[in-house]
Amino acid sequence: GTRIFAVSASGRNAGDRCWLNFVLPTTAAIVFTIRNDTTGGAQLLPSATYPSNAYTTDGVVTSLSVALFFNGSVWQYDFSKSPA
């Protein structure tokens, strides 16, 4: 199934940063998205890197880190990495 992680914008200031570290199960085909402020908010993972703006576990990669920054109105994607 799909898992949604919403990053709250409440009380944030321009320039704030958020570093998310996910420990992933070794189960394939679990889809998760990171969204701005609410579960219905804008998807933060870029489609150029993550098809459908979501990350799908492959059963091999066990962690993923995502960096976000707050522009004063909404969270923005900065970068992500996973172990090689």
Give pTM, 2 decimals. Answer: 0.88
Q: What is the pLDDT of residue 34?
A: 97
Residues of the chain with pLDDT under 50: none
Q: Which pLDDT value is given to residue 29?
A: 93
DSSP assignment letter at 74:
S
Using DSSP's 3-state secondary structure scheme, residue 72 falls into: coil
| The pLDDT of residue 25 | 87
**Residue 70: predicted pLDDT:** 98
What is the pLDDT, as a whole number, of residue 61? 84
How, if at all, do strands 2-7 and 28-36 pair?
Answer: parallel
The CA-to-CA distance between both ends of the chain, in Å, stands at 25
Q: How far is CA 13 from the centre of its chain?
A: 19
pLDDT at 83: 67
The residues, ordered by sequence, that sit 6+ positions from 8 with a Cβ below 8 Å of its Cβ are 37
What is residue 17's predicted lDDT score, i.e. its pLDDT?
97
| pLDDT in the model for residue 72 | 97
Cβ atoms of residues 55 and 44 within 8 Å: no
Q: Is 52 helix (H, G, I), strand (E, B) or coil?
A: helix
